[in-house]
Amino acid sequence: MISKRSLLQSTLALAMAAGLSGHALAQDKPLKIGVTAGPHAQIFEQVKKVAEQQGLKIQVVEFSDYVQPNAALAAGDLDANSYQHKPYLDAQIKDRGYKFAVAANTVNFPIGLYSKKVKKLADLKEGARFGIPNDPTNGGRVLLLLQAQGLIKLKDGAGLKATPLDVVGNPKKLKFVELDAAQLPRSLDDLDASAINTNFAISAGLNPKTDSIAQESPDGPYVNLLVVREADKNKPWVAQLVKAYQSEEIRRFIETQFKGSVLAGW
């Protein structure tokens, strides 16, 4: 006959074994993190190494545009993504109703202006065709940069979501060509100049520090973010992931690899 004490011990042992088994299964399944190709992907490959030292497995999933990483996160195909700044995230949440939360700041990519036709903005001819991103937040960001450079004037209150319709002063009569951000590097052969997000510039072989004819100040609202679903924001793995990203190893990698083109945002 089995005593009550032996039965209790056996039950506890089984429960502990089940718990350990469940924990092991959770660790065996890597977190899927969505990134855009280029610096975000390069950085997260390093984060992956740091996280694995802490027992956190990661699978990096690359995307070629700005829309799909959020759609995949909302659908449950990703556990987190790392590629967007807050104005873009806010616009996506407003437009699409995503239930997302910011887990941490990541890096800042001062946007640059590039040209194969001129060496400086002052050399742009009247009627020059200028490429800008066609998403509202990055398009507005570029227009604010052009205003800061003295090329255009925006109407009062246009703010971060300015569009070409908000341009009230345009001495050079620039013609704005709105394209998907990922297509802008390829536009340099056809346009007089283009604004190119740093991640796409680097992927296209451009050096933001030496190849841009003007660059945005790093001080602003455009620090990039690690984003998760609201339901996951307090889960232990999120804190582990943030710790791995915001580690000294990753800060050193950013400084060494990108030499000022990408800046740590924490």
CB distance 118 to 107 below 8 Å: no
C-alpha Rg value of the chain to the nearest Å = 23
Instruction: Supply 86's token pair.
Output: 């807050």
**Which letter, b or e, does each residue of 140-174 get, where b requires 16 or more Cβ atoms within 10 Å of its Cβ?**
bbbbbbbbebebbebeeebebebbbebbeeeebeb
The one-digit pLDDT tens for each residue of the chain (266 residues) are 444 444 444 444 444 444 433 333 345 689 999 999 999 999 999 999 999 999 999 999 999 999 999 999 999 999 999 999 999 999 999 999 999 999 999 999 889 999 999 999 999 999 999 999 999 889 999 999 999 999 999 999 998 889 999 999 999 999 999 999 999 999 999 999 999 999 899 989 999 989 999 999 877 789 999 999 999 999 999 999 999 999 999 999 999 999 888 999 99
Domains in the chain: ranges and CATH = 29-109+221-264 (3.40.190.10), 112-215 (3.40.190.10)
Instruction: Supply 9's token pair.
Output: 């011990």
Cα–Cα distance, 200 to 185 (Å, whole number): 7
pLDDT of residue 260: 86
Q: Specify whether the backbone of 120 is left (phi greater than 0), alpha (psi in -120 to 50) or beta.
A: beta
Cα–Cα distance, 1 to 250 (Å, whole number): 60
